[in-house]
Amino acid sequence: MTQVALASYGMSGKVFHAPLITTHPGFHLSKVLERHRNDAKADYPDINTVRQFDDLLNDEEIDIIVVNTPNAYHFDMTKAALEAGKHVVVEKPFTNTVAEAEELINIANQQNRLFTVFQNRRLDSDFLTVQKVLDQQLCGRVVEYEAHYDRYRNYIQPDTWKEDSGPGSGILYNLGSHMIDQALVLFGMPQTIFAKLSIQRAGGKAPDAYHLILGYPDKQVVLKSSYLVRDEGPRYKILGDLGTFTKYGLDPQEDDLKVGKTPNSGHWGIEPETIWGILDTELYGLPFRGKVTSEAGNYLAFYDNLAQAISGKSKLLVSPEEAKQVIQLIELAYQSHESGQELKV
């Protein structure tokens, strides 16, 4: 059985990685790094708690290290894990710069180790449904795709690096990493990018809102996010020459994981019909308006894929090269914002 270690036990470790790893039959959660607490041991009595990252690096029985620490540590810890001969799962964002991403890709190739980025939002029910609508060309030729990832928190959350002004902080590295990745999955790299970043909440130190426009020869992709959206609009809207698809609501998996449910709980990743998307289009020359049954979300598929990739039976769902493209667009977004200009990619 493949032995896995977590580099931290904060929100991502407790809510996402530990439940998925312990549910998957091919993995065993062996060790968890916690500097001062023993929360993981309380939740999983058979794991070992360690206090130093070197305790993970030097354990020859550990096959995979999950680097789910704050963004500023992703590069150094991933580099050390790869050089120690471990496969690595990195939380998004992959790195803070393209240069760091390229260095890690080179090290992984030299070490003949796999590493991937936990882009779980590729496996959301709503995004999988959007993919279905596009794959089946239910809106015809797409001319515009608009996605929102909005929240309402009208204060600066205390004691969190995500709200500070350090490397990799701010909403674009946080939520933007997911949204850009989704756009690249659907449409590939754009030709141009225009970005507007802002700090909307009083006392903010890092951007808490963005508006990105990705330019393609035949379509426009708009990605928006803000922490001051109290009455949320659609998550996705697709405009085509035959019709429109509009999708509200959010995949239920994160909320279910937060209350202790796991992918083997039954009816996993199933959205309620109340938030199924609405398709208003023309099919085979006939007008149609109705709901589109949402696909089931499945975060466990990320670890299914990783197991297959390690055994050489499949390519990685999220390749390091794809993850590097996300960071490239984030860097360009900051440059576009600072210059006030649309930039070529």
Q: How far apart are CA 306 and CA 115, in angstroms?
A: 9
* pLDDT given for residue 158 in this prediction: 82
**Helix axes 171-187 and 320-339, enclosed angle (nearest 10):** 120
Structure confidence at residue 293 (pLDDT): 98
Q: Quick check: 160 pLDDT over 80?
A: no
Is residue 332 classed as helix, strand or coil in its secondary structure? helix
- What is the per-residue pLDDT for 229? 97
CATH class of 124-297+328-344: alpha beta
pLDDT beyond 90 at 157: no
Whether the per-residue pLDDT at 161 is higher than 80: the answer is: no
Helix ranges (DSSP H) in 144-263 = 171-187, 253-258
β-pair type (220-226, 142-148)? parallel
Predicted confidence (pLDDT) per residue in 162-193, tens digit: 787 777 889 999 999 999 999 999 999 999 99
Angstrom distance (rounded) from CA 25 to CA 40: 19
Average pLDDT over residues 293-302: 98
Closest CA to 1 of 18, 22, 32: 22
Query: Hey, what are 258's tokens?
Result: 């937060």
Residue 344 has pLDDT above 90, yes or no: yes
Tell me the average pLDDT across 102-123: 98
Give me the CATH code for the 2-118 domain, please: 3.40.50.720
Domain boundaries, the chain: 2-118, 124-297+328-344
130-149 tens-digit pLDDT? 999 999 999 999 999 999 99
Structure confidence at residue 42 (pLDDT): 96
Q: For residue 230, what pLDDT is reported?
A: 95
Q: Tell me the whole-structure pTM to 2 decimals.
A: 0.96
Inform me whether the pLDDT recorded for 194 exceeds 80: yes
Q: In the prediction, which pLDDT does 159 show?
A: 75
How confident is the model at residue 258, as a pLDDT?
96
User: Taking residues 63-90, what's their average pLDDT?
Assistant: 97
Residues 208-218 have a mean pLDDT of 97
Number of other residues whose CB lies within 10 A of the CB of residue 180: 28
Mean pLDDT of 296-323: 97
